[in-house]
Amino acid sequence: MDTAVFKKTLRSETLRRRDALSPDFRAKAAHEMAERVDEFGIAKGTVVSGFWPMRTEVDVHPLMAALAESGARICLPAILDKTTIVFREYFPDGEMIDMGFGTMGPSETAAVLDPTVMLVPLVAFDGRGHRIGYGAGYYDRAIAGLHAKGILPRLIGVAFDCQQVEFVPDEPHDVRLAEMLTESGLRPFEPG
């Protein structure tokens, strides 16, 4: 099967499973994930990128609040154009603007930061640490941009267990996740 067709099928099947989770289950899971903040071992002052959840993605607001309370600086992606995102500092009471795709991000007045830890949204992931998103490639390009600056961010996928699939086809530009956070906990992927 063609890789693009296979990824499209994976997206559709995985989103159907994620969408079937009840709002109560999703809210409880999000709070349980936030309670695991000590497991992250993130030093005070570390810049962590979160994300504004789309559709039925994990609501990382509780996790971002817990990370900020532990001393991390939080930033969110801001979409500049069809190919580029930057990460702007996020404060819960700061001005937010529509970024399209049902997401919000800090306004142009927020500081642009380079995260060293990234909470990465995704549609599906496999046991090797490969992921697929919605297909626009924003995160792949943002990570490549950080690499070009000499920054190798710690990549932590955030999803529900039902989003794990047997295999995600990977391409040369794809960057593997280092770890995965689900309602079952934070787990590392084997290097490779």
> Domain total for the chain?
1
In a domain, 118, yes or no: yes
Q: What is the mean pLDDT of residues 112-133?
A: 96
The closest of 120, 114, 107, 46 to 79, measured between CA atoms, is 107
Residue list, annotated binding site for substrate: 57
In a domain, 47, yes or no: yes
Q: Which two tokens stand for residue 165?
A: 């699939």
The model's pLDDT over 56-65, given as tens digits with 9 standing for 90+, comes to 999 999 999 9
How many helices, marked H, and strands, marked E, lie in the chain? 4, 11
What pLDDT does residue 175 have?
A: 85
In a domain, 14, yes or no: yes
The model's pLDDT over 82-93, given as tens digits with 9 standing for 90+, comes to 778 899 999 999
% of the chain with per-residue pLDDT over 90:
81
In a domain, 191, yes or no: no
Who has greater pLDDT, 4 or 43? Answer: 43
What single-letter DSSP state applies at residue 72? Answer: P
Residue list, annotated binding site for ATP: 7-11, 131-139
Q: Over 90: is that where the pLDDT of 159 sits?
A: yes
Residue list, annotated binding site: 7-11, 57, 131-139
What pLDDT does residue 135 have?
A: 74
Are 95 and 88 spatial neighbours (Cβ–Cβ below 8 Å)? no
Q: What is the mean pLDDT of residues 161-187?
A: 93
In a domain, 163, yes or no: yes
What pLDDT does residue 63 have?
A: 97
What pLDDT does residue 147 have?
A: 94
In a domain, 145, yes or no: yes
Give the pLDDT band (50/70/90) at residue 112. Answer: very high
The Cα-based distances of 40 to 63, 95, 185 in angstroms read: 11, 28, 11
Domain that holds residue 158: 3-186
Q: Over 80: is that where the pLDDT of 69 sits?
A: yes
In a domain, 192, yes or no: no
Q: What is the CATH number of the domain that holds 53?
A: 3.40.50.10420
Q: Show the CA angle centred on residue 77, arms to residues 67 and 145, nearest 5°.
A: 105
In a domain, 134, yes or no: yes
Q: Over 70: is that where the pLDDT of 172 sits?
A: yes
What pLDDT does residue 1 have?
A: 64
